[in-house]
Amino acid sequence: MSDLFSQPFEEEPPDESAAVLKPAARRRILTVSQITAAIRSAIESQFCDVWIEGEISNCRVWHTGHIYFTLKDEAAQIRAVMFRAASHYLRFKPEDGLHVIARGRLGVYDAKGEYQIVCEHLEPKGVGALQLAFEQIKKKLKAEGLFEQARKRELPALPRKIGIVTSLDGAALRDIIQVLRRRHPNLHLVIRPTRVQGEGAAGDIVRSLRAITKVAGVDVVIVARGGGSAEDLQPFNEEVLARAIVASPKPVISAVGHEVDFTIADFVADVRAPTPSAAAEIVVAAKDEFCRRIDALKMRLDAAVRAQVQRRRHRLHVLSSHRGLAGWRATVATSGRHLSDLTHRLRTAATVQIARKQQRYRTLRLALESRDVRRRLAAIRGRVGAADNRLRSAALRHRDRADARFRVLAGRLETLSPLAVLARGYAVCWNADRTAAIRRASAVGRGDMVRVTLHEGELECEVRKAE
């Protein structure tokens, strides 16, 4: 320290240094301002461009953007400031404990009698500035819980529109469109052309993200670029973009084409895709999953209903093969046949009788007409008329009777229930395999097996004698 101060003063004009260093000779008194000005001019001219290595402590960032800190080593320290114009270009955030190399000029702050290094440039020692910045932002956002999986949103199963933020001429866009088109031709894409590398790209991406999430129907956004060097990926490591992704009202998929390295955007995105193509696959996978789910539900729906119908059919079958009910159909069929036979016979009989009587009437009339007996005509006419009437009414009575009998039979059929019949003590005798009812004793022989359905239960019988 001592020779640090001695250096500039050796070059000072002899009269001034004499005044300071040899007060005994001629008493020249300086004001504080004068001496400070002298010191400043000495220091500032001597140390207008120095490199200093040290550890940052007492670091404070002012809202104005100026950064104040102290650089120190084991034995000494020096105050430091980095004004906004310079700190603006910093890739990382100076913080306590950081080992840095500062480049700048020394300046004296008259009002406080302090000297300090005014930094133009600051770089972390050992790691690169970008790497350090990355680690810093990562640590900070992680501490805020922004990497938490629980915070991240589900992708929509059926995005109405898919937003894409990327450069128009990059391979990323081409890859995404290709995959989406191949997988689901019916997709609505909204592309926001955006510069994704170079100075200020992060800000552009942020603006694009905000704009595209405002488009009605955009349910998911892919932020993509097709790989590149660490420097190229820098925008995706900037805090401002990370914050915009977190604040996005719609889920964001990061697709920075770099399989291995994660960017900060990858950490905060709702879904991280290793490549732009993968991002497209992820978007449609959700849709595929939804399709599969609907199909599965539809299949289960059909199966459930089919199973129910099956169950019912089975129950019906069990019921219908139960006890006396088995013969029900056969009985009804038999009764039906009897009835229709009877009806037919009745109708035929009635018709035949009527026809016969009509025939007799005609014959009689012919006979009467052929005999020209006018005297007896009136009497005969009367008798004929009466006969005619009697004939008609007889025929009609006959028909009415037949109809009435038919109706009674039909009515009985309606109330006919095999169970009711069986309950009255009737039984149905079947052949052994129960395929036909036995109506004649001659249909079976001695030793044949028959089954007999009773009102309750069934008998299996052996014929001992058929009469």
Partner 1 sequence: MDPTIKDFESATAELDTIVRKLEEGDLPLEQSMVLYERGLQLSRFCHAKIEEAERRIELLNERGELRTAPAVLGLGGGDEEGAKPR
Binding site for partner 1 (CB under 8 A): 157-161, 168, 173-174, 177-178, 180-182, 184-193, 211-212, 214-215, 287, 290-291, 293-294, 297-298, 300-301, 304-305, 308, 312
Of 60 and 214, which CB lies nearer to partner 1 in the complex structure?
214
* Shortest spacing between CB 168 and partner 1, in angstroms: 8
Q: How far apart are CA 95 and CA 168, in angstroms?
A: 39
* Shortest spacing between CB 330 and partner 1, in angstroms: 28
* Shortest spacing between CB 425 and partner 1, in angstroms: 37
Of 307 and 352, which CB lies nearer to partner 1 in the complex structure?
307
Of 103 and 161, which CB lies nearer to partner 1 in the complex structure?
161
Q: How far apart are the first and last CA of the chain?
A: 146
Instruction: Return the number of other C-beta atoms located less than 10 Å from residue 364's C-beta.
Output: 16
* Shortest spacing between CB 245 and partner 1, in angstroms: 18
* Shortest spacing between CB 101 and partner 1, in angstroms: 41
Cβ partners under 8 Å of residue 154, min gap 6: 251, 270
The answer to whether 253 and 221 are in contact (CB under 8 A) is yes
Give the pairing of strands 99-109 and 67-72.
unpaired
Of 151 and 293, which CB lies nearer to partner 1 in the complex structure?
293
* Shortest spacing between CB 153 and partner 1, in angstroms: 14
* Shortest spacing between CB 190 and partner 1, in angstroms: 5
133 membership: H or E segment, kind and range: helix 129-143
Sheet with 252-256: list strands edge to edge. Answer: 161-166, 218-225, 252-256, 271-272
The answer to whether 233 and 130 are in contact (CB under 8 A) is no
Cβ partners under 8 Å of residue 380, min gap 6: 368, 373
The answer to whether 54 and 71 are in contact (CB under 8 A) is yes
The DSSP code for 437 is B
Of 164 and 242, which CB lies nearer to partner 1 in the complex structure?
164
Residue 212 token pair: 């595209």
Q: How far apart are CA 224 and CA 166, in angstroms?
A: 5
Of 291 and 463, which CB lies nearer to partner 1 in the complex structure?
291
Q: Is the dihedral of CA 382, 385, 388, 389 positive or negative?
A: negative
Of 114 and 288, which CB lies nearer to partner 1 in the complex structure?
288
Residue 296 token pair: 């599965």
Of 30 and 294, which CB lies nearer to partner 1 in the complex structure?
294
